[in-house]
Amino acid sequence: MNMIKVAVVGATGYTGVELLRLLARHPNVEVCAVTSRSEAGVGIADYFPSLRGAYDLQFQDPAAADLSRCDAVFFATPHGVAMRDAPALLAKGVRVVDLSADFRIRDIPTWEQWYGMPFTAPDALSEAVYGLSELNREAIRTARLVANPGCYPTCVSLPLLPLLRADALLPEMPIVADCKSGVSGAGRKAAVGTLFCEAGDNFKAYGVSGHRHLPEIRQTIASLQKNVADKLIFVPHLTPMIRGMHATTYVHLQDGVSPQNLLEEFYSGSPFVDIMPPGSMPETRSVRGANVCRIAVQKAPYDAGNVWILMSVQDNLVKGAAGQAVQNLNIMFSLPETAGLDAVPLLP
């Protein structure tokens, strides 16, 4: 088949370089343009030495790049950019995968409340498909615009999907998602809180009073079992790791529900979700560099009703961002879902 020509807009951050790393070995993709306002004219391999030998392209200013010649464009940009630029690309027949938050939340007032700016692309939003690959695979196949999920929403939602589909959660009880992320999740910008001396040998919660991923996770829950969405408590933590994300989610299930069986059946055809044997405890290092989410479930070890502990791990830059974006591209273009994503995790 012909190579799929793609561009990456805003490729100087950790998500952008991860996307370029994955696309460099994709058998069906040609990266034809990479843009950055701040680094226009700089060679990709000069800016990212890890990509020496993989690319001979230079960063282009977005205003000078002819993105309309591409089959698909990835936006690895801060929020506000994709909603401004994606509609013109869609009008020219270019398909878009947006790794920012611009098209993730369906309710515009909610988006504006959490992101603090006016939303300007309601027509594009109306056709955007939420790109949680294992949930919306069929809709993604024909989508022109895919909203790639956030890292926490992916890690929290994947173990919940089969339970929500089965209407298995008790509606009167809370869902508690206790989550930890490596420092790369904060992005590549300079900030005191992510300096080595600040984040190393340290552990802290943040966003306890409200995090932008909270309405995104609640939206997914509500789409499957609406009466439990407002019971979600989500607390993220920063850990002294570079890569990695761990979500421990506590749920109260209906009597007689076997979450192990539900998860194994639901994900039997999903190459990037690994349901581990009963009694397992997944580790973040077991998924480093790979587009895999490993999930294990255990019953709470005391007599407190049908309380279960869902544990999920992923690389926040891969399955939590760039890897899932490539997975969505594969689905959109009827490629094998694993194309370019079959790397084995790194150890140590």
Q: What DSSP string runs through 141-190?
A: HT-SEEEPPPHHHHHHHHHHHHHHHTT-B-TTS-EEEEEEE-GGGG-SS-
Q: What is the pLDDT of residue 40?
A: 94
* Domain boundaries of the chain, sorted by first residue: 4-127, 152-315
Establish whether domains 4-127 and 152-315 are of one fold. Answer: no
At 293-348, the pLDDT tens digits run 999 999 998 766 789 999 999 999 999 999 999 999 999 999 999 999 999 999 98
Give pLDDT, residue 189. Answer: 79
Tens-place pLDDT, residues 175-213: 999 999 999 988 887 788 888 898 899 999 999 999 999
Query: Is 121 in contact with 87 (CB distance < 8 Å)?
Result: yes
CATH superfamily of 4-127: NAD(P)-binding Rossmann-like Domain (3.40.50.720)
Q: Is the pLDDT of residue 124 over 90?
A: yes
Confidence bin at 19 (pLDDT 50/70/90): very high
pLDDT digits (tens, 9 = 90+) for 211-242: 999 999 999 999 999 899 999 999 999 999 99
> What amino acid positions are annotated as catalytic residues?
151
Query: How is residue 131 written in tokens?
Result: 């790109």
**Sequence-ordered alpha helix ranges (H) in the chain:** 14-24, 44-47, 81-91, 108-115, 122-127, 133-141, 151-165, 196-199, 213-224, 259-266, 323-332
Q: Tell me, what's the pLDDT at 48?
A: 96
Residue 186 has a pLDDT of 85
To the nearest whole number, what is the mean pLDDT of the chain?
A: 96
Question: Under 8 Å CB-to-CB from 314, ≥6 apart: which residues?
Answer: 151, 154, 155, 244, 245, 287, 292, 293, 294, 320
pLDDT at 190: 73
Does the reported pTM lie above 0.85? yes
Q: pLDDT-derived band of residue 147, with 50, 70 and 90 as boundaries?
A: very high
Q: What is the pLDDT of residue 1?
A: 65
Q: Which of 138, 148, 183, 175 is nearest to 72 (CA)?
A: 148
Instruction: Mention every residue, 6+ apart, whose C-beta is less than 8 A from residue 196.
Output: none
Distance in angstroms (rounded) separating the CA atoms of residues 93 and 90: 5
Q: Would you say domain 152-315 falls under CATH 3.10.20.30?
A: no
